[in-house]
A and B are shown apart, each in its own frame.
Chain A
Amino acid sequence: MTQRASAADVERVFREEYGRAVAVLTRVFGDLDVAEEAVQDAFAAALRTWPGTGVPPAPAGWLITTARNRTIDRLRREASRQDRHAQAALLHVQDEPPEEGLVRDERLRLLFTCCHPALGMSARVALTLRLLGGLTTAELARAFLVPEPTMAQRIVRAKAKIRDARIPYRVPAEADLPERLSGVLAVVYLVFTEGHTASEGERLVREDLCAEAIRLGRLLARLMPDEPEVLGLLALMLLGESRRPARLGPNGELVLLAEQDRGRWDRALIAEGQSLVRRCLRRDRPGPYQLQAAINAVHSDAPTAEATDWRQIVLLYDQLLALSPTPVVALNRAVAVAEVDGPAVALEQVDELDLPRYHLFHAIRADLLRRLGRMAEAAAAYETAAEYTANDTERALLRRRLAEL
C-alpha cells in the first residue's frame, strides 16, 4: 500500500535536504542561482506528485535527479534561444561526470563558499542560512529585523560577488583550513547568539535562529568529526540551548543563571553537550569554543547555583584568556573570580578593562558595587548598562535591579 505524503512531509524533507540538494546542483551547474532555481522547481514537483506516490525512499536522490533533469531540459530550451547564461550552465554540466552510487555530500564546499572572508559578515550569515538552511528572504528579513528588499539585495550582491570575483567552490587547502574553519564557526555561532539574545527588539530569544545554528553545528560535526573546535561549538550551543526553558520567567522577563529553576533545564541536551565536551577533553587540543563549552558544562553539573565549582570555572577562564586575550573574556572571568575571591578583587579587575560601550561591563560592575554596598555607584552603573543594551528584555531586568537597590 502506498504511504501518502502530506504538505507537511514535503516541508520536512525541504528543511532536511534543501542545503544538500543546492550544494550538489551548484557543483553540477557551476552557478548558485541555477542550482537554487533547480531545487525549488524540484520541490514544486514533489508537492504535486508525492501526495499521490508517497515520499520516495531516498528523497534527496529523487530531488537531485529531478532538479538536474528538469533544469537541463529548461536550459536546453533557453540555450537554443541564445541565452548565454543557460549555455554556460549547460557546458558546465557536460564537464561533470554523471553521479554514480550515493550522492556525495557537497554541503561542506557550499558552507566554505558562503563563509568566504571576501564576503561581508552579514552577507555570509544570510547566504549560509539561505543556501544551507533553505530560509526564504522573507524569513531572513524577519529574523534580522531588516526590510525584505534590504535582505534580498544583500543576497543578490553576495551571489554576484561569488560569481564575478569567482570565489572558489571548494573546501580550502590544508594550510588555510584552520583560519577558514574558524570563519565558518564564527558565522554559525553568530546565528546562534543572535537567536539566543536578540541584539535588538522586544523578544529575548528567536528560537528559529538557535535551531538553525544547532542544525548547522550538527552538520559540521558530522562532516568534520575530527575537528575538536567543531565539536566544541556544537557542545557550547547545546548547553546554551538546554537552559532556554529557564531563561524566561512567567511574564517573559529575563532570568539569570543563578536564579534559574534548574529543574526546567533540558536534560537530554545537557547530556549530549557534556558527552561532546568529554570527547574534546580526550582529544586534548583545546580551543576557544571547547573551553567555553567546558565552562558551560561545569554550570550544567551543578544541581544548585551555590554548588557551582567556581574554582574550576576560573581555571578554564585562565586557559581561555591565554588563547583569546580579549577584555570580554577577562570580564566573564571576573564574574567567576567574584565567587572565589570576593567582589572587591573582581571589581579591581573589572575596572582595569576598557569596555565603555558594552552593556554587560556596566551591568557586572553594578552588581559587584551592589554587593560591596556602594549603592549610589551601583545605581549609576545600572543606568549606564540600561542605556547601552538594545534588547528590551535585558533592559527591563536592569531597570528591575536598579529599583531593587
Chain B
Amino acid sequence: MKQYLLSVYQPAGELPDPEFLAGVMRDVEELNQRLRAAGAWVFAGGLHAPDSATVVRADGDDVLTTDGPFVEAKEYLGGVTIIRAEDLASALAWGRRLAAATTLPIEVRPFQDGD
C-alpha cells in the first residue's frame, strides 16, 4: 500500500457563512468515517488561517523566526488528509469524494516511501 497526501486548497479572504461550513464539516466527517471503515484512513485535520502561521528558518547557528505564512498566496492550504491506497486510481477516487465534500480543489500527491 502506498500513502497519499490529499491537500485542500481554499481561497484567501472571507470564509463562507457558518451554516454552509457546518454542512461541509458534516460531509468531511462522514468521509473520514468511510475512510476508517475502508482501512484507508491515516490522518486528517483542518488548519487555522495562514495568518496564524509562523516560519522558522536556519541561519547558520541561529534560527530566524518570522510571522506569517511561508508564501502569501491567493489560495492556501486549508487542511490535509493522509490516506493509504493501492494506486493513484484509488487515491483519486478518495480525492474526488473529498473535493465533493469540501467543494474545494484537492491536490493528490504520493509520499516517497510506501509500505
Contacts and interface: CB of A to CB of B under 8 A. Distances in A.
Nearest to B2: A166
A257 to B, nearest CB: 42
A112 to B, nearest CB: 10
A168 B89 contact: yes
A58 interface: no
Given A165-B110, A166-B110, A118 B92 contact: yes
B88 A165 contact: yes
User: Looking at chain B, what size class is its interface with the partner chain?
Assistant: 10 to 19
B75 interface: no
A111 to B, nearest CB: 15
Contacts of A118: 88, 92
A172 B92 CA distance: 13
Interface in A109-163: 116, 118
Contacts, number: 24
A165 B90 CA distance: 11
Looking at B2, B88, B92, B112, which has the most chain A CB atoms within 10 Å of its CB? B88
Interface string B95-115: 000000000000011101010
A166 B89 CA distance: 8
Interface residues of A, number: 8
Interface string A339-381: 0000000000000000000000000000000000000000000
Interface string B71-98: 0000000000000001111011000000
A168 B87 contact: yes
Contacts of A166: 2, 86-88, 110, 114
A172 B2 CA distance: 19
Nearest to A168: B87
A167 B92 CA distance: 10
A164 interface: yes
Interface string B44-84: 00000000000000000000000000000000000000000
A172 B89 contact: yes
Nearest to A180: B89
Interface string B14-56: 0000000000000000000000000000000000000000000
Interface of A: 116, 118, 164-168, 172
9 contacts: A116-B88, A118-B88, A165-B91, A165-B109, A165-B110, A166-B88, A166-B114, A168-B87, A172-B89
Can you list the 9 inter-chain pairs with the closest CB atoms, starting with the nearest?
A: A168-B87, A166-B87, A165-B110, A165-B88, A168-B89, A167-B88, A166-B2, A166-B88, A164-B110
